[in-house]
Structure 1
Amino acid sequence: MGKTKPVATVFIDTNILKFSAVKKHVYRAKKVTLNWSDTNFDTEIHEPHTVNDLHKIKNEVQKRDAVFLSMLAYAGISEWLNFYIHCEVVPETWGLPGMASPSGRFFGCTIHEVPDPVAPQSRIITGGNKEFKEHTLDIMCSIKHPRFIELVKMTGAYQGASKPLNLNQALDAYHIWCAESAKIDYFLTMDYKLQKVVGMSKVETPVKVVTPNQLLRLVIPKFGFVGAIKFMWNGYKFAKPRVGFDEGKGWT
């Protein structure tokens, strides 16, 4: 009898969407000599060019994890894993460069949404005399649920009773809370500092915070012997053209 799919559920941190936006379409400057009415002159034109953002990553551990994201996306496409986000993750990507990538959001893998742990009474994310991040911080600071207060201390967002929460770490706490409430197995991130802080905290969470490399090592044995072999072969064929391409001319 084959293994039952899915074998695990995974909540996606915002940085996973950022690092999976690998392919970029840009224009690159090129100096050329043109002839106009028997006169030659030098000018600059811009040609369409495709770039691979993986080439920009200098940290080898980070680059390895970024490469593995396409394998994990294939695990979702082949229904071995189910991936989730919360609606707050999407506004976090606003303003990040290159998110409209031809690679597709998380390489085209379906991503489901989890509900709020506690239904909010209201939300204001834009308007008035405040910036978007200020509204988001107001929302985080207004949550007085005991579990959220524990999690903001776990992630390091709490800076004292007289100070506002650290926004990025408060959002991490909120996303982990969402994952807990939805009974998600893993929280996938490439924020290595977050993983370290959570691991050192006295506050515990049933959601295991993992990197792409760690998640692959944990879930592949659950596919079964035959399933694991098929996944590794087909996953490689899926990933190679998506993350292994060279930079070149044109938009493909």
Structure 2
Amino acid sequence: MHVELRHQLAHRLVALQRRQRDFRLESWAVVSSRSFCHIRSFVPATLQDWERKIHLTHLFRFPEPPLFIDTNILKFAAVKKHVYRSRLGTVDWGGTDYEVEYHERYTVNDIHKIKNNETLKSDAILLGMLAYAGISGRLKFHSHREVYLETLGLRGMCSASGRFFGCPIHRVADPMAPRVRIISDGKKSGADHALDFLSRIRHPRYGELTRMTGAYQGPNKPLIINQAMDAYHLWCAECAGMNYFLTMDYRLQKVVSQSKKVETPVVIKTPNQLLREVLPKFGLVGAFKFLWQGYRFAKPRVGFDEGKGWT
């Protein structure tokens, strides 16, 4: 048997796979490949030694399928609200008790407001784990400026949870050359300005998507604003080369899946469907690790209890 110097192990001059050797050099001693002495040397002295020996960085390379998130994902991710709740109390003033109304701080969990819809509630809970997938680099989320503008017209978006639980969201480019876009002028609402913007688009692909989503009602008729926004978001996802379109709009998913004349290369997924789709790609060990770490991340962010004070 040829025994080489120990430092050559760092340069992979000694085979590390069991099928390639019967003995290895550890702690300046030759030990059997089946010896429990390997436990002692499993933890290297430095991270550089670890990476050189077993190439640990390859174990943490996760697939990053491009994902486009819809407006309702940001809406249902804003679960924690800090509010004031009014209460009646009494105050002793000059020997006389007076009934007064005062306000106290209160933390609200919007997931508790979802009633009689277990599918919607389950998807809202899973958003915390998907956000962790983005934070840990397993997934990469994208969105468009119009998605953020649409959230400005939604109530309750000022949440202590942060935007999508602090997950980084990358912005995609406009599907066509930028045009003048009025956000607000004090005369019209933000939704009216959005409808004016969408109605001026004359691109043929956007026209096809408005027909698929049901926004187009015929010539000389205005578009339906919600469906028109869905069509624009799908168009943005297509032009940006997204693989998935993450949404909790079940009607949109049904309409797109049943469309035969107009199809889209972007696969529309709900949070539950997306998690089932990408989880096997993490590998067996990676999937269990993600489920455990994702649960620990999501539990305090979506499973917290309501109560007094701002937590």
TM bracket (short chain): over 0.9
Matches within 5 A, 1:67-216: 67-127=125-185, 129-202=187-260, 203-216=262-275
The count of corresponding residues between Structure 1 and Structure 2 is: 252
| Alpha-carbon distance in 2 for matches of 1:161, 1:125 | 26
1:141-162: CA deviation from partner (whole Å, max 9, x where unpaired): 1111111111111111110012
TM-score by length of 2: 0.78
Which segments of structure 1 move beyond 4 Å, counting only runs of 4 or more?
none
| Alpha-carbon distance in 2 for matches of 1:172, 1:122 | 20
1:175-227: CA deviation from partner (whole Å, max 9, x where unpaired): 11111111111101111101101111121111101111001000111111111
RMSD: 1.3
Mark the runs of 5 or more structure 2 residues left unpaired by the alignment: 1-57
Partner AA of 1:163 in structure 2: K
Q: 1:11 aligns with which of 42, 63, 68?
A: 68
1:24-65: CA deviation from partner (whole Å, max 9, x where unpaired): 111112222221222222222110000100010011110000
Q: After superposing the two structures, state which structure 1 stretch, 185-194 or 94-103, moved more.
A: 94-103
Contact 2:63 2:281 in 1 (8 A): no
Q: Which entry has the higher C-alpha Rg, 1 or 2?
A: 2
Whether 2:105 is the aligned partner of 1:48: answer yes
Residue number in structure 1 paired with 2:17: none
Tell me by how many angstroms 1:3 deviates: 5.7
1:107-165: CA deviation from partner (whole Å, max 9, x where unpaired): 01011100011112322232274332222112111111111111111111110012111
Partner AA of 2:128 in structure 1: S
Residue number in structure 2 paired with 1:237: 296
Mark the runs of 5 or more structure 1 residues left unpaired by the alignment: none
Contact 2:77 2:124 in 1 (8 A): yes
Matches within 5 A, 1:19-34: 19-34=76-91
Partner AA of 1:19 in structure 2: F
Q: After superposing the two structures, state which structure 1 stretch, 68-77 or 157-166, moved more.
A: 157-166
| Alpha-carbon distance in 2 for matches of 1:200, 1:233 | 36
What SS does structure 2 have at the residue aligned with 1:11?
strand
Percentage of matched positions with identical amino acids: 64
| Alpha-carbon distance in 2 for matches of 1:241, 1:208 | 31
Contact 1:3 1:224 in 2 (8 A): no
Q: After superposing the two structures, state which structure 1 stretch, 135-144 or 189-198, moved more.
A: 135-144
